[in-house]
Amino acid sequence: MKKLTIAAIAASMMATAIPASADLAIPLLSYRTGPYAPNGIPYADGVEDYLNMINARDGGVGGEMIKILPCETAYNTTKGVECYEATKGEGALVYFPLSTGITYQLIPKATADDIPIHSMGYGRTSAANGKVFSHVFNFPGTYWDAASIIVKHMMDMENGSLDGKKIALVYHNSAYGKEPIRTLQELSAKHGFELVLLPVDHPGQEQKSTWLQVRKEKPDFVTMWGWGVMNQVAISEAASIRFPMDRFIGVWWSASENDVIPAGAKSDGYKAIAMNKPGTDFGVYADIQKHIIDAGKAAGAGDQVGAVLYSRGVLNAAYLVEAIRTAQKIHGVSDITPGMMRDGLENLKINQARWTEMGFDGFTSEIDVTCENHGGPGLGAIQQWDADSGTWSLITDFVGSDRAVVDALIDEDSTAYASENNISDQCS
Amino acid sequence: MFYREAGDFKTSYKSDQQTFPLKLDKILFWLTVAIAAFVIPFFLNEYWEKAIFLPFFIYALAAIGLNILTGYCGQVSLGTGGFMAVGAYASFKLMTGFPAMDMFLVIMIAGLVTAGVGVLFGLPSLRIKGFYLAVATLASQFFLVWLFNKWEWTYNYSATGQINSPERDFLGIVVTGAYTKPWATYLFCLGFLFLFAWIARNLVRGRIGRSWMAIRDMDIAAEIIGVNPLVAKMSAFAISSFFVGVAGALYFSVWLGAAEPTEAFSIDQSFDVLFMIIIGGLGSILGSLIGAAFIVLLPVLFKNVFVGLLGIPTDIAEFSQIILVGALIVFFLIKEPHGIVAYWRTLKGKLRLWPFPY
């Protein structure tokens, strides 16, 4: 009887000890279902595999294991809110919902709850202004950087002048797709090109009329802010009206294998902006192969390794892990709180030497986040799809955006938000 | 044995016409209200508030609204999402245009605006009926969402077309924005649901409700006995839209805090609310509540059971959840075409006779 009591006490203690053991909880608001799954799956796989690899290889970060809290949002904002509330109580360190709509929803909530958001290259562009958005980070680049770099590339193709040219923007008719419009309007005034706006409604499977309009308007370039099945459909439709693929340039969210493969050989030459190099020739992939894939622990179906969005997921997870390290260093504790994680993100500095150490030699640009600048360097390169070999390759170097235009717009929009919500300067 | 009318004497017309003729029903009802209003707020955390109660209250309100139009007046509408958008955008414009305005007033005015728009889109109902009317109201759904995408004034010229609800209060208690307390928003929405369910219940058993039902059952006969179809149909559209507009305003300002027209007020919303009243029970206030609980809460319940308890991967859990909810809808529609509320009626009938059924 006594033994039984002791055993029962021990068992109950173990049961309570498991959740009490300090874990670094990372909520993964992913979508593996619905019309956005073709893009949501590789990204979620990349994040999961990298974090699991860190657990397997290094035993977590600073001695603390990472615990992933997966939650399916289906790219739906109400489900995203449910996921946020469900995971918040478990000590979630940082949110990265991979959805501009959900990010908009979470910005005020997470700020009030003192939990940071890392909307990497999506979300609210003007959150790059850390003076207003203390808890939101969108490094390494914003939509407006992307728009400006795409226009720069078009200028290069036209020998330096877009005067009198016509550029069409095919965009997802949501906050996400509308983000670049203001920047493109500024740029059209500056460079003298005409901007044609072609919205595509959710989920984006019906685009016949959009591309009929492209045929009618005969733009010199088409750029696209698409996501999910919309990307595949747009590229197939562009191919079917024989739009020259090298004049069709997508944002970094319309830039994955799953978007171009359905159009087959016709998608050859399609371009998109990239925030990191494609391919798997990086040290980190050897580690993922060794600790995760060979061990049979790959996330999802395990068939997305090395895809563009998988790499982006890996990159996102790498930023977060490095931010956790930074936070641990700043505060001198290994079991950090969401508030400390915010400090970690705000002081995140990764130079090329550090990238190489982490296994990302030459993978992406250096990062130097400051209190004022949460948007990162805003660099991007153009990648092009080769349908024969089925690979992306970079055709330009990483270049910066037109800071004069982008920074002015960020200032304007974030100041408006600050005055609407009575936010004082968060950095002084 | 306990649940019966024996000994429960009615001595006036008033007491004979009450909503809950049985004493036990009345006790049960007030007990539920008392628990909802005075007990739950003390144990409420943000998950239960944001993921369970607020969506339930708000959709229940929208379902009552649609039930007035479809269930009581027989006018099929697929424009609920669009009318919710009107309520949401009206509340947004009021909140940003008149920062000092009390939230209760904001939501009531948003309801009035929606009622006006509802009457406008209800005009075709004077000429067309049934499926054809459904198509006409479908046009309002698409037109309104398109309007809020296109007309920049409605979203205060924001760069992305997204609207965000600023911090506003009701009698000094903050009910919108990021810094709300769970009990505050809970009671605010519960109050609206209680008030409007009360109003709806008393409307449908009064003169106006009877004229709606006359139109529903046979409009020509109703006209012959003196029901004015114009007044009956337009009042149904106005009042129904008012309810839906209030639900839309709460949906945006209190629950979500941010919205964009194409997603938050898509055609899926219209279908969801229509399914709620069909599954819960057409022409029943309780049915609207049951239907809202069915459509809003079952997916959350299944998700928590599958992922939280059984540890199934999130994508498989999501698919199973969709299949299961769909299967349950089919099951209930086959087994009980009058909605889940009919089970409740059957159960009550059986209980009255228990334990000696004849």
> How does pLDDT run across B268-324, given as a tens digit for each residue?
999 999 999 999 999 899 999 999 999 999 999 998 888 888 888 888 888 998 999
Q: How far is B327 from chain A (nearest CA, A)?
A: 19
What CA–CA distance (Å, rounded) separates A181 from A173? Answer: 11
Give Cα separations from A142 to A251, A373, B40 (angstroms).
10, 12, 43
C-alpha pair distances (Å), A378 with each of A276, A369, B296: 12, 11, 41
Superfamily of domain A143-274: Response regulator (3.40.50.2300)
Residue B301 lies in a domain: no
Q: What is the pLDDT, as a whole number, of residue A9?
A: 41
A296, A66 Cβ separation under 8 angstroms: no
- In this prediction, does ipTM exceed 0.90? no
Mean pLDDT over residues A211-221, rounded? Answer: 93
Would B122 be classed as within a structural domain?
Answer: yes
pLDDT digits (tens, 9 = 90+) for A139-161: 899 999 999 999 999 999 999 88
**Cβ within 8 Å of residue A300, ≥6 positions away:** A32, A41, A44, A45, A48, B315
Q: Which two tokens stand for residue B229?
A: 């179809």
Alpha helices in chain B (DSSP H): 13-16, 23-34, 40-43, 46-47, 54-66, 80-97, 103-122, 130-150, 182-204, 207-217, 219-224, 229-250, 261-264, 267-280, 285-292, 298-303, 314-335, 340-353
Nearest-CB residue to A33 (from B49, B177, B318): B318
Residue of B nearest to A126 (CA): B159
Best of B47, B58, B147, B160 to disrupt the A interface (most A CBs within 10 Å) is: B160
Residue A23's Cα: distance from chain center in Å? 24
pLDDT digits (tens, 9 = 90+) for B197-241: 999 999 999 999 999 999 999 989 999 999 999 999 999 999 999
For chain A, what is the largest distance between any 2 Cα atoms, rounded to a whole number of angstroms?
90
Inter-chain touch B178–A112, beta carbons under 8 Å: yes
Q: B281 with B338: CB under 8 angstroms?
A: yes
For residue B149, list chain A residues with Cβ-Cβ distance below 8 A. Answer: 173, 199
**Of A344, A201, A388, A14, residue with least CA distance to B263:** A201
Q: What is the pLDDT of residue A22?
A: 62
Tens digit of each residue's pLDDT (9 = 90 or more) over A347-377: 999 999 999 999 999 899 999 999 999 998 8
Reply yes or no on whether the pLDDT at B55 is more than 50.
Answer: yes
Domain holding B141, by residue range, is 48-265
| B312 in any annotated domain | no
Task: Please list the residue range(s) of chain A that carry CATH number 3.40.50.2300.
Answer: 6-141+278-379+407-420, 143-274
CATH of A6-141+278-379+407-420, one of 3.30.300.30, 3.40.50.2300, 3.30.450.20, 3.90.550.10: 3.40.50.2300
Name the residue of chain A whose CA is nearest to B52's CA: A82
Chains A, B: CB contacts within 8 A come to: 99
Least CA distance to A185: which residue of chain B? B159
Domain count, chain B: 1
Residue B280 lies in a domain: no
For the stretch B320-329, pLDDT in tens is: 989 998 999 8
How far does B354 lie from chain A, in Å, by closest CA?
A: 43
Q: Is residue B329 part of a domain?
A: no
Q: Which residue from B66, B46, B31, B27 is spatially nearest to B269, judged by alpha carbons?
A: B66
Question: What's residue B18's pLDDT?
Answer: 82
B5-14: pLDDT as tens digits: 777 788 888 8
Q: Confirm whether B111 is domain-assigned.
A: yes
SS3 B164: strand
Q: How many CB atoms lie within 10 A of CB A377?
A: 19
CA B283, B285, B286, B287 torsion-angle sign: positive
Structure tokens of A53?
Answer: 């690899």
How confident is the model at residue A89, as a pLDDT? 86
Predicted TM-score of the model (pTM): 0.90
